[in-house]
Structure 1
Amino acid sequence: MKRGIGFIVAVCIGLLLQSCFVKTSPNMAFIHKGDISRDAEVVSVKVPGILMRTFILGELREMKEEDPMLAMALKKIKSIKLTAIEGEKGHRLHERFTNYLADQQFEELMSIYSDGAKVSINTLTKGDRIKKIMLGVVDNEDQVFIELKSNMSLSELNQLVDHYETTKGKEKKDKKKSKSEDLAFAK
């Protein structure tokens, strides 16, 4: 009886760990193997929330003291999927990504253009809860897509943004103050 239970537990753990292996095929619903050229390199990883919490549980305790908002945000993440594609020159993936977002009724929070790369942050909400966050980073030859499953409310997201905006504002003031003190000391 004990051997049977041990075997079942070992099989369950093996299945959970299998999803964390790095794969060379895409794991996103909108990417098909035929859309990617043969020269492109694909790396895909999926980390379930159970395993993620297991590894960062000790870190969360320390983070609660240092950065409670980040600890709260990490606690709300259920799973992470990542697909990185290097060497793909076409824009087919970006088109499929935008079509997928429209079909699944994602809302775009923001788009940022930086050094020729486009970063798109999109959310899928149900009521006032954010269920999925999709990040897409598209460069000339590289694409990275990240899907976060979460259960965060919009008010918690606003608290997180406000916290980091005020933190950055304080850091800028402290830097200006220390620079002015250094200049006064140098004179």
Structure 2
Amino acid sequence: MKTLKNIFLAILTIGMLQSCIVSEKPNIDFFQNSQYDFKEARFASINVPMVLAKSYIKKALREEGEREETINLVKKASKIKVLTVTNGSSEMLNDYAQFLNNNHYEEWATIKHDGDNINIRVKQDGEIIKNMLITVGSNKNDIVFVDVKGNFTPDDISKMINSVSAK
């Protein structure tokens, strides 16, 4: 019985770690399902397994002196996907923004921080925010997209934006 339990735990661990593998294929809808010509853009995508990542992310945020509002937001996340684009373009960002508008995402904030533009868009289902997309674009055409799924309130997002803006 103990051997069976150990085998089950090993298989479960391997299954969770597999979703952490970095891929060169995009994992964000606009880039996956698009006939768009990305030209010289290169992609790296990561699906973050929340079971493993939550405690690590919360610890790192505390060490960096983040406010409790941001740490509480991590607790409500159920899935995080990260996509980095090298050699992106402003045209690609504009087309992505149009895609989000067409799919009922609302722009909540645009923040300029250390030369980067941070854009936060959300998709609501009543009073609950089910999806938050964060775009970080630099002047060097390197872009990071973060797709966060969970059950957030508008107050959660506002507190997080205010804590980032205060820095």
TM-score, L = length of structure 1: 0.67
The runs of 5 or more residues in structure 2 that have no matched partner are none
Q: 2:54 maps to what in 1?
A: 53
Q: Is the 8 A contact 1:49 1:78 kept in 2?
A: yes
Q: CA deviation at 1:141?
A: 2.8
Deviations 1:96-136 (A, max 9, x none): x2243134311111335679865431001112121111122
Using the alignment, how far apart are the partners of 2:42 and 2:57 within structure 1? 29
Could you tell which deviates more after superposition, 109-118 or 25-34? 109-118
Match of 1:184 in 2: none
Verify the 8 A CA contact 2:67 2:163 in the aligned structure 1. no
Query: Greater share of helix residues, 1 or 2?
Result: 1
Checking the alignment, whether the CA contact within 8 Å between 2:19 and 2:48 is kept in structure 1 is yes
Query: Residue 23 of structure 1 aligns with which residue?
Result: 23
Summarize the Cα distance change of 1:112–1:56 in structure 2 as closer, same or farther, 3 Å threshold: closer
Residue 38 of structure 2 corresponds to: 36
Deviation at 1:19, TM superposition (A): 1.3
Separation (CA, whole Å) in 2 of partners of 1:88 and 1:164: 25
> Does residue 72 of the first structure (1) align with residue 58 of the second (2)?
no
Per the alignment, do residues 109 and 66 of structure 1 end up closer, same or farther by CA in structure 2, a change over 3 Å counting?
A: closer
Q: Do the aligned partners of residues 144 and 156 (structure 1) sit closer, same or farther apart at CA in structure 2, a change above 3 Å counting?
A: closer
- What amino acid sits opposite 2:50 in the alignment? G
Q: Which amino acid aligns with 2:3?
A: R
Change (3 A) 1:94 1:84: farther
What is the CA distance between 1:71 and its match in structure 2? 2.5
Give the count of matched residue pairs: 163
C-alpha spacing 1:124/1:11, structure 2 compared with 1 (3 Å): same
Distance 1:44 1:12 in 2: 22
Structure 1 residue 47: Cα displacement: 0.8
- For residues 26-74 of structure 1, the C-alpha deviation after alignment (integer angstroms, 9 at most, x for no partner) is 111110487333x4332111212211124346x28x67x9833232222
1:116-169 CA distance string (max 9 Å, x none): 86543100111212111112234563222111112221233344556677x66x
Closer, same or farther: CA 79–158 of 1 in aligned 2, 3 Å? same
Contact 1:89 1:140 in 2 (8 A): no
Query: Where does residue 174 of structure 1 map in the other structure?
Result: none
**Alignment gaps of 5+ in structure 1:** 169-187
Residue in 2 that maps onto 1:182: none
Which protein is bigger by CA-based radius of gyration?
1
